[in-house]
């Protein structure tokens, strides 16, 4: 069985503030196979790493993040909310994160801005870094993924499929929709919630040449189940637990 890859969701967020260089560095040191991060395009054309659409939860600012320049955003303290030990930590750029993990990890980049301009900026940055073969692009904004498919060289594309399902929709129909979407998007990886992670679903997706990513698996039972049924990869906020469970499964 192929080893299930573990991605640190926004970095090692149990140890350091999310989407910061210390969080990513900790994830790499602990042995994460990849790091997941979120990027926005600033008003002056830079790619800033941050999750929320609005400032305030993980920094001292306020307002829509896409309305600021890089300099304005990097003046904000992005660490004190987590612990005073991280006081003065700044939001990193995508380029800084790629440089940090170069040669050591894979990257899952979620594009958060709505304009397709972000796709071209991300693509140019990734290609310039020489890391296109270890970058996986995702977004809930489907037009961004459509645009990403057109670019060469291509990064791998992952499509999110959210739950819960509507009451009228059976899992079998949802699976058909997932396959159709993946084919239409020319995507490689389906990101699905635990509700759809069954051995049959994973086997059928593999038979069609698609990879399966477990989205935000933070419970031990979810992690054990995903590894047991051969999920290709999953992201988690509980990195140490995930790595321990995988190591245990490999010894059995």
Catalytic residues: 9, 51
Determine phi and psi for 177, rounding to 5 degrees: -65, -40
Helix 94-101 to helix 21-30 angle (10° resolution) is 20
| Residue length of the chain | 252
Answer for the pair 111, 138: CB distance below 8 angstroms, yes or no: yes
The verdict on whether omega for the bond into residue 97 sits within 30 degrees of 0, i.e. cis, is no
Answer for the pair 74, 148: CB distance below 8 angstroms, yes or no: no
């Amino acid at each position: 069985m192929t080893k299930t890859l573990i991605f640190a969701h926004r970095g090692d967020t149990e140890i350091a503030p999310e989407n910061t260089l210390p969080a990513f560095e900790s994830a790499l040191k602990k042995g994460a196979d990849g790091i997941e991060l979120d990027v926005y395009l600033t008003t002056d054309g830079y790619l800033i790493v941050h999750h929320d659409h609005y400032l305030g939860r993980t920094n001292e600012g306020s307002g829509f993040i896409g309305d600021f320049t890089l300099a304005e955003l990097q003046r904000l303290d992005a660490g004190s909310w987590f612990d005073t030990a991280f006081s003065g930590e700044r939001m990193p750029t995508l380029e800084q994160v790629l440089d940090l993990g170069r040669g050591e990890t894979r990257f899952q980049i979620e594009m958060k801005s709505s304009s397709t301009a972000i796709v071209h900026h991300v693509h140019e940055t990734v290609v310039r870094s020489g890391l296109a073969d270890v970058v996986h692009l995702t977004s809930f904004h489907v037009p961004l993924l459509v645009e990403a498919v057109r670019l060469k060289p291509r990064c791998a594309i992952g499509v999110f499929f959210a739950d819960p399902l509507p009451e009228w929709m059976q899992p079998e129909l949802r699976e058909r929709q997932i396959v159709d979407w993946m084919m239409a998007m020319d995507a490689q990886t389906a990101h699905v919630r635990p509700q759809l992670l069954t051995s049959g679903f994973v086997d059928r997706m593999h038979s069609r040449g698609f990879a399966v990513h477990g989205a935000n698996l933070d419970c031990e039972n979810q992690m054990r189940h995903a590894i047991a049924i051969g999920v290709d990869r999953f992201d988690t906020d509980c990195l140490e637990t995930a790595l321990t469970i995988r190591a245990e499964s490999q010894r059995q």
